Amino acid sequence: MLGREWPGTKVGHGGTLDSSASGLLVMLVSSATRLSGIVMSMPKVYRAIVCLGKETSTCDFAGEEVFSADWRSVSEADIDRALCSFAGWRNQQPPKVSAVHVGGRRAHEITRSGGDPELQARPVFVESLVRHGAVSESGEFALTIRCGKGTYVRAIARDIGRSLGCGAHLSSLTRESVGCFSISNAAKFSEAGELESGELRRAMTPLSVLSDFLPTYAFPDEDMRRLENGLAAPFGHAVRKSFGRFAPEGVIAFASGGTFSIARLKRLDGEFWAAPEINIFDRTDSEVNR
């Protein structure tokens, strides 16, 4: 969670989860809500359990069976060969029960009202798929999937089943990380669905974590003041602070003093300038945002 605990403050999120999934949900507090698009675009890591032998209408355990076949002739080598074909860029058709817009309506609304939404395949990026352990007697196996924005892991399970000819769906899905945010550092809910005392404050994460994850630079005070006022500053004056591990759509960050700025490079009169798109201010050590 980015930001600080503050009664009455604005709260957003960095990407929702399917109702049948569990795991990390990044919450954005106060002015950090302006970083929602950046967080949503970050790479994600999922732990999935795929079950062979049946495809469902939702591509997970919550749906109705639409196809089934005997999976027992499928070997682990067959599965691993199939997994290799899913790495990298590929066109993926979203599940019909999904939040994708079709003609101004959500695909799941059309499907649940008896319609048949025409979903176009979309390019998605899968960095890696790693199988863990053997296939169980019930046809289940575990996967760790590293992927980019917009990837439906349910659709990966569906397409694995189609590739193997036996059908498949997700038995479970857990999101373990979003960019630099990990479930190991997240606030934990009790069995009653409530946060224990102090758990929310413990899980608050300062904006400084993004300085290590994004390509980050510092400007002299005069140029930082230009960014703060919404004006572009000459990139030639910038000093690199970190190379970062992720650059969403080519944006870069500037952190200096009490300002964290998301900017984009533009070429003006033969020179590169950093044009600010988001400015977030932090004037004290004890407060993340104001």
Residues belonging to the active site: 18
DSSP 149: T
Distance CA 262, CA 227 (A): 9
Nearest to 279 by CA among 237, 230, 221: 230
The per-residue b/e assignment along 137-165, b for 16 or more CB within 10 angstroms, e otherwise, is eebbbbbebbbbeebbbbbbbbbbbebbe
HSE-up (13 A, CA, CB side) for residue 108: 10
Distance CA 290, CA 280 (A): 8
Using an 8 Å Cβ cutoff, are 79 and 141 in contact?
Answer: yes
Using an 8 Å Cβ cutoff, are 63 and 95 in contact?
Answer: no
CA dist 258 → 29, 217, 265, 273 (Å): 17, 14, 22, 21
Using an 8 Å Cβ cutoff, are 39 and 26 in contact?
Answer: yes
What 3-state class would DSSP assign to 40? helix
Which tokens is 162 given? 């189609």
Task: Kindly give the pairing relationship between strand 252-256 and strand 239-242.
Answer: unpaired
